[in-house]
Chain A
Amino acid sequence: DAGVTQSPTHLIKTRGQQVTLRCSPKSGHDTVSWYQQALGQGPQFIFQYYEEEERQRGNFPDRFSGHQFPNYSSELNVNALLLGDSALYLCASSLPGIYGYTFGSGTRLTVV
């Protein structure tokens, strides 16, 4: 049973560039959430997608946007990258009404 798959695993970008991170949810899961984890910190909620719509959003600027596809996979886009965007980006999938989340291994983004 495939778990949550994220790509790429590592990424280096320059300030001002744009980046797209990808997530395939666990088989059977239709809800995808994204989290940002700065070094030495706990993850912070960015947003959640369900039925291709953003259902809830955390305290992140509009530079952070997302998309969910009909097959439930999801993308996280970050525009105008700042040095402070350097972090581990985690994707988590779940089923509605089920309070457990399955996490991927994340994408390590470094902005230079």
Chain B
Amino acid sequence: AQTVTQSQPEMSVQEAETVTLSCTYDTSESDYYLFWYKQPPSRQMILVIRQEAYKQQNATENRFSVNFQKAAKSFSLKISDSQLGDAAMYFCAHRGRGAQKLVFGQGTRLTINP
């Protein structure tokens, strides 16, 4: 069974600085997808970035980028130039290529200090 682990329950960063959130996962599959979701107080899960395991190039979306280390089963999220609106719970998630479900980690609460 797939598992996703986020070892940082809480993180904080000064506005405009860079922060990295960690995620490790365990899977027996060779082809899968990885995601970072943001959940603000509004409760809606918002997709931040996604990575296909067969792609070696790390995904980037504006200020958000990932460091995908397939052999180490590590998938960290880097947020550059942090903004107050980035404050939220961040969840790492895995989905096998042939599977229907997302497997989520426990989440990291990110606080942005002005």
Chain A interface (Cβ < 8 Å from any Cβ of B) = 33, 35, 40-45, 48, 55-56, 58, 88, 90, 92, 99-106, 108
| B102 in complex: contacting residue of A43, A88, A104, CB < 8 Å | A43
Interface of A is mostly: strand
B103 within 8 A of A: yes
Nearest chain B CB to A37 CB, angstrom units: 8
Chain B interface (Cβ < 8 Å from any Cβ of A) = 4, 33, 37, 42-47, 50, 91, 93, 95, 99-107
Residues of chain B contacted by A48 (CB below 8 angstroms): 100-101
Q: In the bound complex, how far is the Cα of B37 from the Cα of A103, in angstroms?
A: 10
Contact of A58 with B45 at beta-carbon distance under 8 Å, contacts A99-B50, A99-B95 already known: no
Q: Identify the closest chain B residue to A94 (Cβ).
A: B100
Instruction: With A33-B101, A42-B106, A100-B47 given, name 9 new contacts (CB 8 A).
Output: A35-B102, A42-B4, A43-B45, A43-B91, A45-B102, A92-B45, A101-B47, A101-B102, A106-B43
User: Are A99 and B44 interface neighbours, CB within 8 A?
Assistant: no
Q: In the bound complex, how far is the Cα of B35 from the Cα of A43, in angstroms?
A: 14
Contact of A105 with B100 at beta-carbon distance under 8 Å, contacts A41-B106, A42-B91, A99-B50 already known: no
User: Are A105 and B107 interface neighbours, CB within 8 A?
Assistant: no
Q: In the bound complex, how far is the Cα of B44 from the Cα of A106, in angstroms?
A: 7
10 A-B residue contacts at CB 8 Å?
A43-B45, A45-B102, A55-B100, A56-B101, A58-B101, A101-B45, A103-B37, A103-B45, A103-B46, A105-B44
Contact of A100 with B44 at beta-carbon distance under 8 Å, contacts A41-B106, A42-B105, A42-B106 already known: no
User: Are B101 and A90 interface neighbours, CB within 8 A?
Assistant: no
User: Are B43 and A105 interface neighbours, CB within 8 A?
Assistant: yes
User: Are A56 and B100 interface neighbours, CB within 8 A?
Assistant: yes
User: Are B101 and A45 interface neighbours, CB within 8 A?
Assistant: yes
Q: In the bound complex, how far is the Cα of B107 from the Cα of A44, in angstroms?
A: 12
Q: In the bound complex, how far is the Cα of B43 from the Cα of A108, in angstroms?
A: 10
